[in-house]
Amino acid sequence: MKTLFVALVALLFAFFIGCQNSITDPVSETTNMAGTVDEETVAYKDAVSMWPGVIELDGSICEPIHNTCNTTLIGGVIRYDIKPLPPRRHFIPKLKVGVYVNAEFKPNFTETSGPWRVFGMTQDIVYLSTSGEEFYTLDKEFLLTNTGDYRLKLVLRFKVSKSALVLISMDLKKCAYVPIGDPEW
């Protein structure tokens, strides 16, 4: 009986020691939770740091919030990687195109709490035409963050060839309203 009591006390002691950091304890500000933007940024930057293509973003762009064209400054980078894939049917050449965007916008009005940001990475399979065209047009959209009540997306249009990605156009557009709690938002 004494052995059973000592084992029970040891088990309870181990249980209480193990529960010192429970999910109900408050999280300190220095704790970096898994899946935060900072960790994702570092992971993407590490993954794309070897990508050979770079397009610098530096200039201005019209923001669509007001009915007039207020210019917004943009600074950042687009990194890309283009890899040929073996043709499967009818010998149509195809490419695997990776695009990474990390940019910051400085709006010229004071209705937001700071710079807007866009960050994302996509990969697409592009089929080049066998009719003699040397390029394919690729449109990509990225959601901006830190825009306050406004929902904006960066729309990029690229010309894709076997060896390069060229930025044709760049626009900011309003997003459609999405209800709170929509899992795809």
Report pLDDT digits (tens) over 159-181.
Answer: 998 889 999 999 998 887 655 55
pLDDT at residue 33, as a whole number: 34
Residue 102's pLDDT band (cuts 50, 70, 90): very high
User: Could you give the C-alpha distances from 30 to 27, 33, 37, 39, 43, in angstroms and in order?
Assistant: 8, 9, 15, 14, 19
Looking at per-residue pLDDT, the higher value among 87 and 158 belongs to: 158
How many whole angstroms separate alpha carbon 140 and alpha carbon 128? Answer: 17
Average the pLDDT over 150-157 and give the result.
Answer: 90
Question: If we measure between CA atoms, which residue out of 86, 89, 77, 92 comes closest to residue 41?
Answer: 77
Q: Tell me the β-bridge partners of 167.
A: 158
Report pLDDT digits (tens) over 42-51.
Answer: 555 566 677 8
User: Could you give the C-alpha distances from 28 to 31, 101, 141, in angstroms and in order?
Assistant: 6, 31, 35
Average the pLDDT over 65-74 and give the result.
Answer: 79
Looking at per-residue pLDDT, the higher value among 25 and 139 belongs to: 139
- Residues 143, 118 contacting (CB under 8 angstroms): yes
Report pLDDT digits (tens) over 110-150.
Answer: 566 778 899 999 999 988 776 666 788 999 999 998 887 77
With a pLDDT cut of 90, the percent of the chain lying above it is 31
User: Which residue in the block uniquely carries the two structure tokens 């530096």?
Assistant: 58
59 has a pLDDT exceeding 80: yes
- Residues 147, 121 contacting (CB under 8 angstroms): no
pLDDT at residue 23, as a whole number: 45
- Residues 175, 152 contacting (CB under 8 angstroms): yes
Cα dihedral 168→83→122→58 (10° resolution): -40
